[in-house]
């Protein structure tokens, strides 16, 4: 499979135009900043710097380096500026582009936690709003999958996403849908303004008595508050 990379194409073209190596580096840096602004502005955390882009017939890979100077320990909440000089790389799949799967390969920094009471001595910096700690997909890609599944169901969503170039299974889509539904129900449950409670029963699998559930609903807003196994 033939892979092309942005820096290779860019530097070869500028070299032919007799730009010096220093000039090529300078123009390339501006080019990467412009690409970040137009394609991922407000999506990718500001401390990530785009290094290169690779493309073959099936996927595009964006390579990012972290330029953070501090990060918050996710276990105790204390800020740290003590870097470990150790990194964590994991590709995160994003919304497909032009029939191709999209991946972000982010080189995340590790920091020491200086809080003596914290159960962890080191941690990987987080990409808040972009990708969760151990996730293989970006948060917005998961939302994109959930939206497709809500329109037509998980299997048709998988087929549609595959046609768009993404690589995602029906099982993963169902998992994202469950997590999103659980969050929604949790937030509905926290509200204390329910005035009329409605009770209904549903069956997750038609004709199977063991999969019956009781559903508690806010009658006025029709929000689901709770689903209990058994009727």
In sequence order, what are the beta bridge partners of 223?
218
Number of residues located near Zn ion, criterion CB under 5 A = 6
**Cβ closest to Zn ion, residue 54 vs residue 114:** 114
Q: Which contacts qualify for 164-171: CB closer than 8 Å, 24 or more apart?
A: 164/96, 164/99, 165/58, 165/59, 165/96, 165/97, 165/98, 165/99, 165/100, 165/101, 165/102, 166/93, 166/95, 166/96, 166/101, 166/141, 167/93, 167/101, 168/93, 168/137
Per-residue binder mask for Zn ion (CB under 5 A), 65-84, x = binder? --------x-xx--------
Q: For residue 87, what is the enclosing H or E element?
A: strand 83-97
- By CB under 5 A, the residues from 124 to 153 that bind Zn ion are none
* SS3 call for 45: coil
Residue among 11, 51, 68, 115 that touches Zn ion (CB under 5 A): 115
Q: CA 207: distance to chain centroid?
A: 38
Closest separation in Å from C-beta 79 to Zn ion: 10
Residue among 14, 32, 44, 113 that touches Zn ion (CB under 5 A): 113
Closest separation in Å from C-beta 123 to Zn ion: 7
Question: 124, 130, 128: which is closest to 142 by C-alpha?
Answer: 130
> Taking a C-beta distance cutoff of 8 angstroms, is the pair 116, 75 a contact?
no
Interacting span for Zn ion (CB under 5 A) from 53-61, 115-123, 196-204, 205-213:
115-123
Per-residue binder mask for Zn ion (CB under 5 A), 186-225, x = binder? ----------------------------------------
Closest separation in Å from C-beta 48 to Zn ion: 22
Closest separation in Å from C-beta 71 to Zn ion: 11
Closest separation in Å from C-beta 120 to Zn ion: 5
- List interacting residues with Zn ion (CB under 5 A): 73, 75-76, 113, 115, 118
């Amino acid at each position: 499979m033939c892979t092309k990379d942005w820096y290779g194409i860019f530097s070869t073209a500028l070299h032919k135009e007799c730009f010096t190596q220093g000039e090529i580096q300078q123009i390339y840096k501006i080019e990467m900043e412009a690409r970040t602004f137009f394609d991922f502005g407000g999506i990718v955390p500001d401390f990530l710097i785009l290094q290169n882009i690779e493309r073959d017939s099936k996927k595009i890979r964006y390579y990012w380096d972290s330029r953070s100077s501090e990060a918050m320990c996710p276990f105790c909440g204390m800020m740290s500026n003590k870097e470990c000089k150790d990194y964590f790389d994991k590709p995160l799949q994003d919304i497909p582009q032009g029939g191709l799967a999209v991946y972000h390969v982010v080189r995340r920094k590790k920091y020491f936690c200086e809080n003596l009471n914290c159960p962890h001595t080191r941690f990987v910096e987080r990409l808040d709003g972009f990708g969760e700690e151990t996730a293989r997909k970006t948060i917005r890609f998961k939302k994109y999958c959930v939206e497709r599944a809500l329109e037509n169901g998980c299997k048709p969503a998988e087929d549609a996403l595959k046609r768009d170039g993404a690589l995602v299974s029906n099982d993963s889509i169902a998992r994202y849908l469950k997590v999103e539904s659980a969050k929604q129900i949790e937030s509905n449950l926290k509200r204390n303004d329910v005035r009329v409670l409605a009770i209904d029963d549903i069956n997750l699998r038609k004709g199977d008595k063991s999969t019956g559930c009781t559903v508690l609903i806010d009658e006025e807003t029709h929000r689901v508050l709770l689903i209990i196994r058994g009727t």
